[in-house]
Amino acid sequence: MNKSYDNLNFYNQQAELYCTKTINCDLTDIYQDFLAKIPHGGLILDFGCGSGRDAKKFHNLGYQVELTDGSAALCEYARKYTNLPVKQMLFEELDADEKYDGIWACCSVMHVEKENFPKILRKMSRALKPGGVMYLSFKVGDEFIVREGKYYNLMTKPAVLEILQN
């Protein structure tokens, strides 16, 4: 495949605009479903935190949160918005064993290239405590697309479940 995308460059260049467009999204129902499965006060990894919107909500509700993002500009935005530490880290750099009660990957791992996705899911699974929970969101489909210079790995729930089972 001819690489016609650079996600990190896009987010570094467009961080302010991206955050302004997404900071007020209301995910209350999704938060409730996810947090119902996490012990109160548990540790959540916001994996690809973007603006920090979700991590701030979790923190304000009494959860411990670690924030990561690959984009330096988004890390800086999230630090200012949440007043929490944010680690600049690529998905493949996750190296934890049974550390997190939950991993929140809202609109983030959909940018992982299809051939690398199983490896990243294994790392995420390994990072969860027994009984831990992952939230992943994707654009629905079974292909990859490039839009605005960003790569999207379109997935279906059955496809993700099959990868997890393998």
Taking the C-alpha atoms of residue 62 and residue 80, their distance in angstroms, rounded to an integer, is 19
The band of 55, judged by pLDDT with boundaries at 50, 70 and 90, is: very high
Bridge-based pairing of strands 86-88 and 150-153 is unpaired
Q: What is the pTM of this model?
A: 0.93
Instruction: Report pLDDT digits (tens) over 9-20.
Output: 999 999 999 999
Instruction: Report pLDDT digits (tens) over 72-102.
Output: 999 999 999 999 999 999 999 999 999 999 9
Instruction: Report pLDDT digits (tens) over 92-147.
Output: 999 999 999 999 999 999 999 989 999 999 999 999 999 999 999 998 998 899 99
| Distances in whole angstroms, Cα of residue 102 to Cα of each of 2, 70, 84 | 35, 19, 18
The secondary structure element, H or E, covering residue 68 is strand 64-69
